[in-house]
Structure 1
Amino acid sequence: MEYKPKEVLLKNGTPCLLKSPGPGDASAILKLMSQTSEETSYMARYADEVNITLHHEQDFLSSTLKSQKDLMICAVVNGKIIANAGINPIAVFERYLHRATFGISICKAYWGLGIGSHLLAAIIRGAREMGYEQLELEVVQENQRGIALYEKFGFETYGTREYCFKYRD
């Protein structure tokens, strides 16, 4: 699904454009994935595990724009993609069609400016438009900033998985 571009103001007054990234944004999205994976241990992968080819990412972004059940929204500040969020169906079986999973990543230099709230609000609206009734995510228990954001939007903890991540050290 394509998100209609929208400009929002960050807490510091900086304009920020929310939009669906297209194939032309593939390189910037890959850089964002590497950067955010490097900046925090809360992401699912290490930066050196972002090994998606540019062509594959272009195809992925193109198919996401055309999808009726997937959505990706990025945040652009001063022409640079600095955050990204997306939703995908849990499964294609009828009993799962009401559920989607989502993820979000923000460059550390932009934490605390309200980008997460803007992206999450847009993702929730998009999920409703696509017919989803339930959004789910996994979050590292130590990620208190993330958890506070999710709780602000009504998310509740429904379970924990101890030792879910195994770090290299």
Structure 2
Amino acid sequence: MNKQEIHNKGIAFSIRSAVPEDAQQLSELRLRIDGETEYLDREPGEAFIDVPGFEQLIKTDTEKPRNLFLVAEVGDRIIGFSRCEGNDLKRFSHKVEFGVCVLKDYWGYGIGKNLLQESIGWADSTGIQKMTLNVLETNDKAISLYQKLGFEMEGVLKNDKLLAGGRFYNTVVMGRLKE
């Protein structure tokens, strides 16, 4: 993907495809983001991906035609990323799963929205018929954004996540079909 420069609400950021040289920043960023919110799947430090792990992930995503790994930067600092991951099984080859994370300091600037819009554009242009995602039921802003960009609620996984204090939360499954 070609680098996109975006100015919104007083900040400038760019979105581009991930490259292996991003691995160090991505490893550190993911660890930090996991500790900032319960909206993601992992506890801080859980399922840690080291630098070689991110290098391999970027290499794989670059080689697979149904995968996309994007980063968002402010200056030279990566502050968020998203991935679309396809499946090699023929019965699922028409779709990809989308995931996104952005540092909390940068919420509200349209970074996640722009990462998703770029991913939708990529999916539509490459023949992907469906994008799916999972979102915690309490993440109202994300659900609203996804709906504005054409995603529909397809189901609810009840008591799907066990969060701090032993509380269970539902996961909302959403999907977008290519128009």
**Identity level (%):** 27
Matched length: 165
Number of the residue aligned with 1:11: 9
Deviates more, 1:43-52 or 1:134-143: 43-52
Cα offset for 1:94? Answer: 1.9
Please tell me whether the aligned partners of residues 31 and 48 of structure 2 are also in contact (alpha carbons under 8 angstroms): no
If asked which structure has higher relative contact order (CA below 8 Å, sep 6+), I would say: 1
2:83 to 86, 89, 92: 86
User: Following TM superposition, where does structure 1 have runs of at least 4 consecutive aligned residues deviating by more than 3 angstroms?
Assistant: none
Q: Structure 1 unaligned segments of length 5 or more: list them.
A: none
Cα offset for 1:98? Answer: 1.0
Structure 2 distance, partners of 1:38, 1:121, is 26
Structure 2 distance, partners of 1:168, 1:41, is 8
| RMSD of equivalent CA atoms | 1.2
Please tell me whether the aligned partners of residues 33 and 104 of structure 2 are also in contact (alpha carbons under 8 angstroms): yes
* 3-state SS of 2:136 partner: coil
Number of the residue aligned with 1:139: 135
AA at the equivalent of 1:49: E
Give me the TM-score of the superposition, normalised by structure 2. Answer: 0.87
Cα offset for 1:168? Answer: 4.6
Number of the residue aligned with 1:59: 56
AA at the equivalent of 2:61: T
Cα offset for 1:55? Answer: 1.1
Q: Structure 2 unaligned segments of length 5 or more: list them.
A: 166-179
Give me the TM-score of the superposition, normalised by structure 1. Answer: 0.92
